[in-house]
Homo-oligomer: A and B are copies of this chain.
Amino acid sequence: MAKALVVLSGGQDSTTCLYWAINEFGRENVSCISFDYGQRHKIELQAAEKVAEIAAVAHEILPINTFAALGGNALTDDIEVKQDVDQQTQLPNTFVPGRNLIFLTFAAAYAYGRNIEHLITGVAQTDYSGYPDCRENTLSALEQTLRLGMAYNITIHTPLMNLSKADTVELAERLGAMDAMAWTHTCYNGQQPPCGKCSACILRARGFAEARRRDPLIERFQFFEE
């Protein structure tokens, strides 16, 4: 049976993808990988660990110290996350150029040594952010690059590529991902319970609202507050 590797950020989308992969390839063939790339909020990595534990799949964290050395963005540096896009690039200041390309290339290098031929990533071009490295044409070009550059028959799966956030919520529910979903992390401000005000929190809340589901992450904190 084919083996699959999920790039797990600890967020809602990659967690849904993990359950998609388990459904597709069988739990025993799925492992996941996260990157400690200098993100401001290490809570993401704790979330990824907890999700992998709940899903009962192997999980490894790889370090990348290069983005922090490159500097200049709000995800790794102490720069305030802005809601607006930059006028020149039309991108939010959370854009780390090449981030997904690097993640998937390292994931492929990891897969190469372990006889894993399927990579799964939670990118979605329907995502509000407009990150160009989340688009289908970029991912197709990258898949081709990895196949050529490693002489290895790797396939990149993007199960959420064309789904709305509400669709993703429904998919997560169908795949039985809601127990893990309670432990995912989304908030750009690194808060737990989530701040509810940043663009990431708002997008998540909108998806659950449109799918007419309660967010198990929010419920988990409400339970403790009562």
Contact = CB atoms under 8 A, between A and B. Distances in A.
A98 B105 contact: yes
A194 interface: no
Chain A interface category by residue count = 35 or more
A133 interface: yes
B64 A70 contact: no
A126 interface: no
B105 A101 contact: yes
Nearest to A113: B72
Contacts of A63: 65-66, 69
Interface centre among A71, A97, A145, A152 (most CB of B within 10 A): A145
Interface in A58-109: 62-67, 69-72, 89, 91, 96-98, 100-102, 105-106, 108-109
A20 to B, nearest CB: 23
A141 B132 contact: no
Contacts of A110: 70
A71 B72 CA distance: 29
A158 to B, nearest CB: 13
B106 A135 contact: no
A137 B135 CA distance: 22
Given A63-B65, A64-B64, A149 B100 contact: yes
